[in-house]
Amino acid sequence: MPADLNPIDKAKFVAAKRAVDFVQDGMKLGLGTGSTAAWMVRCLAERVRDEGLRVTGVPTSRRTAELATSLGLDVRTLDEVRWLDLTIDGADEFDPNLNLIKGGGAALLQEKIVATASDQMIVIADAAKEVSRLGAFPLPVEVIPFGWQTTKALIEETLVSMDVLNREVSLRMNGERPLVTDEANHILDLHLGRIGNPRQLALVLNQIPGVVENGLFIDICDIVVIGEPDGKVSVRDINAGTVQDDQIHFAPTDNIFADPD
Ligand SMILES: O=C[C@H](O)[C@H](O)[C@H](O)COP(=O)(O)O
């Protein structure tokens, strides 16, 4: 693995490296967003170059599209490809049922559409992302800019009606201005501490006018590949209920890995 990485990046790298083993020739792939997904795009580009693997990639953000294009991957839109074999993406948290919080990088909307259009979703994560209950990471909710303060108030009222104790809601900023997503929306972060019923919350949030999508991914992820800084990798498969442990020893020799996201 790249020698000068910090421990968290080493863990992300080995998870990404292992997940790319699941890719087969001819697959149509969803390409996730974030620092872990950026490692996956690089590992994929390496297999394409070294093994002649043929894959088509649908990126979940402008950032990922730029990276994948710069590495020579065949990049298409979801409308060109329609249905995908596999999506590999990062996550902010995952629980024992492999339910997720995503959207720390503000890409949750495209990520959820792409993952839902895929036969299989593999999440890649460092071990620190594993939680017994979702919610320590603030839950991102994408809202349209029009009337966002009203939408925020409606979300707060909804949280009260659901007896949620911690319910601070903040508008995500980019410097002095509200952050604008790739779909020209804003993000509200819900600081909940602990989510009692993620499935119910995901459904209720999406009923509120102005909410486009929330960052809870329920029953979407099939496999989580968990990396650790020493190269240990665990593969948790929700269907097989198994955990396989592996160790990755890998020394990339070229500039595919030169400039991590
Ligand atoms: O919106 C961003 C995504 O959901 C990311 O996949 C998530 O935030 C994890 O990112 P990272 O791999 O950088 O921790």
If asked whether residues 58 and 181 sit together in one domain, one would say no
Classify the C-alpha dihedral 64-70-71-73 as positive or negative: positive
If asked whether residues 188 and 64 sit together in one domain, one would say no
Instruction: Report residue 88's pLDDT band, with 50, 70 and 90 as the boundaries.
Output: very high
Q: Are 89 and 102 in contact (CB under 8 A)?
A: yes
If asked whether residues 84 and 50 sit together in one domain, one would say yes
Residue 160 falls in which region: left (phi positive, over 0), alpha (psi -120 to 50) or beta = alpha
Our answer to whether residue 111 is catalytic in this structure is: yes
Over residues 73-87, the mean pLDDT reads 98
**Per-residue DSSP letter, 129:** G
pLDDT in tens, 104-130: 999 999 999 999 999 999 999 999 999
What is the percent of the chain with per-residue pLDDT over 90, rounded to a whole number? 87
Q: Between 242 and 150, whose confidence is greater?
A: 150
pLDDT in tens, 188-221: 999 999 999 999 999 999 999 999 999 999 999 9
Give the binding-site residues of ligand 1, using a 6 Å CB cut-off: 32-37, 89-92, 102-108, 111
CATH number at residue 198: 3.30.70.260
Residue type, 199: R
If asked whether residues 106 and 18 sit together in one domain, one would say yes
If asked whether residues 237 and 110 sit together in one domain, one would say yes
If asked whether residues 157 and 191 sit together in one domain, one would say yes
If asked whether residues 224 and 200 sit together in one domain, one would say no
CA distance 158 to 167: 10
Q: Which secondary-structure segment (H or E) carries 236?
A: strand 232-237
CA distance 57 to 59: 6
If asked whether residues 24 and 122 sit together in one domain, one would say yes
For ligand 1, atom 2, the nearest C-alpha belongs to 105
Residue 210 falls in which region: left (phi positive, over 0), alpha (psi -120 to 50) or beta = left
CA distance 245 to 248: 10
CA distance 58 to 64: 9
Ligand 1 atom having least distance to the Cα of 90: 6
If asked whether residues 20 and 107 sit together in one domain, one would say yes
If asked whether residues 29 and 85 sit together in one domain, one would say yes
Q: Are 243 and 143 in contact (CB under 8 A)?
A: no
Residue type, 259: D
| 184 lies in some domain | yes
Ligand 1 atom having least distance to the Cα of 103: 1
What's the CA-to-centroid distance between 90 and ligand 1, angstroms?
5
Question: pTM of the predicted model, to two decimals?
Answer: 0.94
Q: Look at residue 252 and tell me whether its pLDDT is greater than 50.
A: no
Domain that holds residue 177: 139-213
Alpha helices in 71-168, H assignment, sequence order:
78-81, 108-116, 148-161
Q: Which residue is it, tokens 């990485």?
A: 5
The DSSP bridge partners found for residue 121 are: 87
Total domains present in the chain: 2
- Residues in CB range of 115: below 8 A, 6 or more apart: 30, 87, 89, 121, 217, 220, 221
If asked whether residues 236 and 198 sit together in one domain, one would say no
